Amino acid sequence: MDASQIISVAVFVVALGLIMSEKVHRALVALVGAVILLAAHVVTFEQAVGHVDFNTLGVLLGMMMFVSVVKLSGVFEYLAVACARLAKGDPWRIMLLLVLLTALLSAFLDNVTTVLLVGPMTLTLCRLLEVGPVPFFLAEIMASNIGGTATLIGDPPNIMIGSAAGLSFADFLAYDAPAVAVILAAVLGAFYLLYGRKMAVSPEARAAVMALEPASYVKDRRLLAVSAVMTALVVAGFMFHAALGLESCVIALGAAGLILLVSRQSIERALAEVEWTTLTFFLGLFVIVGALTETGVIGMLANALVGATGGDVFLTMMVLLVGSALISSFLDNIPFVATMIPILLSMGSAGIDVTPLWWAVSLGACLGGNGTLIGASANVVLSDISRKNGHEITFAQYLRVGFPLMLLSVALAAAYLALRFPPA
């Protein structure tokens, strides 16, 4: 390894250690790490900017502003009370409903958008039932990443893979969705054993919830109607943004601007609701991971994954699945998948059947995001929502639950791929 590679790896490892220790705010760690890489000339300013995913930042900013306006209508309280009544005040049934809703939305919406919509509902429900929201948030984080794995548009790596390999929306439903259904059921079972069977609410709290009228929580009926229409447009926009020739951030920022105009709400108030520390963290993290890409470290990892199998397709499939998941637990899966695509394309040009390998990378890169608190955007955003409302989710706390369940998910994905693409 040359000096630039050593420095980029050192900055990443130290930054990860500090984030895990939680002795320094992760946004500050990411920002300082990015500055060190620039000051050490590991990357130029232009290269650093080139690795910042402004589409992701734009989606985050736009949807945070959008949700800040929507919630003024009382829609989240309305949905929360309706959900609680449907579940008859039972906390496990409520978790089940929220997890299924999160997974379904994440298959068709950006994961960050999904957790921004579901998070406020969860907080309201937990306040009504007088239970802690952290188990709900942990389940929703995992459901978001699992659900996003099921479709072409559910997670950015799938969009990239679909474009490079010529795979359609129907292909992802045929190959990824069955695995996702099994994995989601297994994760729900694990959450029942970890939390569900222990959840209990007082008879008084349950009776109080069942006595509530959802309609009484609507604060602004005009804004509620506007929010419903705008949310439907946002969903359609995210589903068809590629066909429209628009980036996701254009949909999100456009929705934020339009709802502010129509509802006549204050943009200053909306901007005050934005989680600026989350955006700062992602900004710095993109530069740190970008340095690993720029210096060739991620390329070395990808080549090592493929080279370790001696060209055996089945073994390569399994190595790619596990390797993609482990790497994506700690690194942004987008640059990793971007590095893998030309490698797989070149293997295909050499006459190797790479179809199983595309699905291995898709499942591994998307499911791997559940491994750590920084493994995916949804993890960071929902944990920040939790922290802002007085319920800290530490890196270690998440790791104890997320990493084992990520390994369980990958094991199930491996069994599925082995059945779908058995060794020759």
Nearest alpha carbon to residue 367 among 302, 313, 309, 416: 416
The answer to whether 102 and 118 have CB atoms below 8 angstroms apart is yes
Are residues 89 and 44 in contact, defined by beta-carbon separation less than 8 angstroms?
Answer: no
Q: How far is CA 381 from CA 144, 148, 163, 275, 279, in A?
A: 12, 16, 27, 8, 9
Decide if pLDDT at 319 tops 70: yes
What pLDDT is stored for residue 133 in this prediction? 93
For the ranges 16-20, 177-181, 310-314, the maximum mean pLDDT occurs at: 177-181
Q: Which residues contact 178 (CB under 8 A, 6 or more apart)?
A: 416
Tokens of 75: 């829609």
Amino acid at 413: A
In this predicted structure, the answer to whether residue 421 has a pLDDT above a threshold of 90 is yes
Confidence of residue 178 (pLDDT cuts 50, 70, 90): very high
Q: What is the pLDDT of residue 345?
A: 82
CB 389 within 8 A of CB 161: no
Examine the pLDDT at 107 and tell me if it is beyond 70: yes
Query: How sure is the predictor about 350, in pLDDT bands with cuts at 50, 70 and 90?
Result: low
pLDDT one-digit tens code per residue, 34-43: 999 999 999 9
- Res 86: pLDDT: 86
Average pLDDT along the chain? 87
* pLDDT for the residue 63: 82
Block residue for tokens 């029942």: 192
What is the reported pLDDT for 176? 94
List, in order, residues 6 or more apart from 235 with CB less than 8 Å away: 108, 109
CA distance 306 to 50: 27
Element spanning 160, H or E: helix 156-165
CA angle 180, 186, 189 (to 5 degrees): 140
Q: What percent of the chain has pLDDT over 70?
A: 98
Q: CA angle 338-20-375, nearest 5°?
A: 30
Q: DSSP state, 196? A: G
At 368-383, the pLDDT tens digits run: 999 999 888 889 889 9
Distance, in Å, from the CA atom of 305 to the CA atom of 339, rounded to the nearest integer, reads: 12
The pLDDT of residue 332 is above 80: no
* 71 DSSP assignment: G
Work out the average pLDDT over 301-325. 83
What pLDDT sits at residue 407?
97
pLDDT exceeds 80 at position 76: no
Selection from 176, 194, 184, 112 nearest residue 143 by Cα: 184
- pLDDT per residue over 397-416, tens digit each? 999 999 999 999 999 999 99
Q: According to the model, what pLDDT value does residue 108 have? A: 78
The better pLDDT of the pair 260, 234 is held by 260
Single out the residue of 62, 10, 74 nearest to residue 36, CA to CA.
10
Contacts of 183 (CB under 8 A, 6+ apart): 146, 367, 409, 412, 413
Does the structure show a pLDDT above 90 at 140? yes
Rounded Cα distance between 102 and 139, Å, is: 9
Averaged pLDDT, 137-150 = 94
pTM of the model: 0.77
pLDDT of residue 335: 65
Question: Which range in 201-210, 216-225, 260-269, 413-422 is most confidently predicted, on average pLDDT?
Answer: 413-422
Average pLDDT score over residue span 33-59: 90
Lowest mean pLDDT among 144-158, 184-198, 267-281, 328-342: 328-342
- Asked if pLDDT for residue 193 goes beyond 80, the answer is yes
* Residue 310, Ramachandran bin (φ over 0: left; ψ between -120 and 50: alpha; else beta): left
Cα(249)–Cα(151) distance, integer angstroms: 19
Tokens of 362: 């898709």
Which is more confidently placed, 70 or 407? 407
Given a cut of 80, is residue 334 above it in pLDDT? no
pLDDT of 31? 94
82 pLDDT more than 90? no
Residue 198 is encoded by which pair of tokens? Answer: 């222990």
- Smallest CA-to-CA distance from 104 within 22, 20, 177 is with 177
For a pLDDT cut of 90, what percent of the chain falls above it?
Answer: 36
Number of DSSP helices (H) and strands (E) in the chain, helices first: 21, 0
* Across 213-217, 228-232, 345-349, 356-360, least confident range: 345-349
Buried b (16+ CB within 10 A) or exposed e, 47-72: bbeebbbebbbbbbbbbbbbbbbbbb
